[in-house]
Amino acid sequence: MTARLQGKRCLVTGGSRGLGLAICEAFARAGARVAFTYSTHDDDAEEARARIGACGTPALVFKGSVADAAHAQQTVGALAREWGGIDVLVNNAGINQILPIALVEETDWDLVMGVNVKGAFLFSRAALKPMIRARRGHILNIGAFSSERVIESPVHYAASKSALRGLTEAMAREVGRYGILVNLLSPGLLDVGLGQMVPQQRLKEYLDKCPLGRVGTAVEVASAAAFLVSDANTFMTAGKVLLDGGL
């Protein structure tokens, strides 16, 4: 993966920890300039800044909610001033709640849909303006296996990731004429994030059904992400890549 993204200007939402941080580190090791957003936990963001810097060039860091249109515009605008544009956007920021439908409040629904779907829309809309002017770019949305497989999952989370799949396909068809590729990468359970939250019985059920018999790693998914946004990927758009161990 050395120099696969040399000189690419990359923005990763939700990049301060978990899968987002793994993606940032992989991009930096591949030669990219990396910026990331986060919403809370300043200590995590500072640690992430240091780890990314150790992999390559210093990271640019932006704090705010991805569901805030002003934050999206200001972040992309700052990158335009600092870097002169943006080549890659990874919509990774996401939120989940392990709740049965009877306990999902309207505020819970709005929160999950706001971060997981509205956030991807707002940042994509902002990033597409400089990408269209440049007539090139990659947008990678991070989905979830629960939108592709019949697996029990919180309804508002599954709905948000299914909506993200539709957003990916629609955007890809609309902006392909400008040389912009839009794809969806959907991991299974990983060694970070939701994979650390699921009850043991649910995890056992997952592992029993998974041909590889294990959860994935953030590093494995980040490596796939680096390929999908690189110049090695010139013809895949509206694609859905599942990394779930064959589930």
Q: What is the CATH number of the domain that holds 86?
A: 3.40.50.720
The burial class, CB within 10 Å (0-12 / 13-18 / 19+), for 131 is buried
How confident is the model over 126-135, as pLDDT tens digits? 999 999 999 9
Catalytic residue among 38, 157, 178, 206: 157
Question: Does 2 map to a domain?
Answer: no
pLDDT at 171: 98
pLDDT at 28: 97
pLDDT at 151: 65
> Nearest-CA neighbor of 173 among 239, 76, 91?
239
Question: Does 162 map to a domain?
Answer: yes
How confident is the model over 90-144, as pLDDT tens digits? 999 999 888 889 999 999 999 999 999 999 999 999 999 999 999 999 999 999 9
Question: Does 29 map to a domain?
Answer: yes
pLDDT at 153: 78
Question: Does 177 map to a domain?
Answer: yes
- pTM summary value: 0.96
pLDDT at 197: 74
pLDDT at 193: 78
How many structural domains is the chain composed of? 1
Question: Does 4 map to a domain?
Answer: no
Give dist(CA 24, CA 15) in Å, integer: 7
Question: Does 154 map to a domain?
Answer: yes
The tens place of each residue's pLDDT in the chain, 247 residues long, gives 568 999 999 999 999 999 999 999 999 999 999 999 999 999 999 999 999 999 988 999 999 999 999 999 999 999 999 999 999 999 999 998 888 899 999 999 999 999 999 999 999 999 999 999 999 999 999 999 877 765 677 899 999 999 999 999 999 999 999 999 999 999 999 999 777 777 788 888 889 989 999 999 999 999 999 999 999 999 999 999 999 999 8
Cα-Cα-Cα-Cα dihedral sign, residues 69, 75, 79, 81: positive
pLDDT at 201: 84
Question: Does 65 map to a domain?
Answer: yes
Question: Does 58 map to a domain?
Answer: yes
Give the phi and the psi of residue 230 in degrees, each rounded to 5. Answer: -90, 170
Domain extent for 212:
9-243
**Annotation marks residue 206 as catalytic:** no
pLDDT at 166: 96
- Cβ–Cβ under 8 Å, residues 182 and 238: yes
